[in-house]
Amino acid sequence: MITFDEIRRNYEDVCARIERATERAEHRDEVRLIAVTKTHPIEVVQLAHQAGMRTFGENRPQELAAKAPQLVDATWCAIGQLQRNKAKDVAAHANEFHALDSLKVADALERRLDRSLDVFVQVNISGEEQKSGVAPNETAEFLAAITHEHLNVRGLMTIARNDNEAVVRKNFADLRELRDALLPDFPQVRELSMGMSGDFEWAIAEGATTVRVGSALFGRRKAL
């Protein structure tokens, strides 16, 4: 298992990279780090918390449900695709949901919530068939349909194409431009959750306000 010293060094390195990327960026929003802890045991999450991390991301609702009660002094983000039958876990344990792309999932969450849940709408900005997300030209209609009492839409999320810098940055820039076009009608949709271990500096350059980093902090994940 990764040690505390390794986690602390990795965290300091990632924070320094975020700071440098933010200083270079034209779009200088404050950037928040989500430490992606999927497949890592709760002991690693606790070490990360000791190192200073406070916001954690889990792809699988069952992992979220297992870990969140063991570390309550943290913000927990559900960042993976959600099936309706797992909505109860996200409703019970997540502070944020970063992959909303279905009104049926929104309805399932609403039925189980008795508090506000911050959500990010996932947009398939790259247009890849294997990726989830709302089509860019359908995002406004989708946002207008989210009238649920307990869902608080904070922004948009995307996963860029796995490609060279120019292509990846174009994906991120396209999401920023979509957000900017939506703001007059949806002023609450201000944040951009985009960028992972391999491309978060490019995401920051194009306006990311939240990055989701796992392997750069904790090393390669175990196979599921």
Q: Residue 40 pLDDT > 70, yes or no?
A: yes
Q: Residue 166 pLDDT > 90, yes or no?
A: yes
Coil/strand/helix, residue 94 = coil
Q: Residue 156 pLDDT > 70, yes or no?
A: yes
Count of CB atoms situated within 10 Å of the CB of 34: 24
Q: Residue 145 pLDDT > 70, yes or no?
A: yes
- Quick one: pLDDT at residue 221? 65
DSSP H or E run through 48: helix 42-51
Q: How does pLDDT run across 55-95, given as a tens digit for each residue? A: 999 999 999 999 999 999 999 999 999 999 999 999 999 99
Q: Residue 223 pLDDT > 60, yes or no?
A: no
Q: Residue 3 pLDDT > 90, yes or no?
A: yes
- Quick one: pLDDT at residue 29? 77
Domains and CATH numbers, the chain: 4-218 (3.20.20.10)
Q: How much of the chain, in percent, has pLDDT values that exceed 90?
A: 95
Q: How much of the chain, in percent, has pLDDT values that exceed 70?
A: 98
Q: Residue 224 pLDDT > 80, yes or no?
A: no
Rounded distance between C-alpha atoms, residue 172 and residue 194, angstroms: 7
> What value does the mean pLDDT of the chain take?
96
Signed CA dihedral, 65, 67, 68, 70: sign only = positive
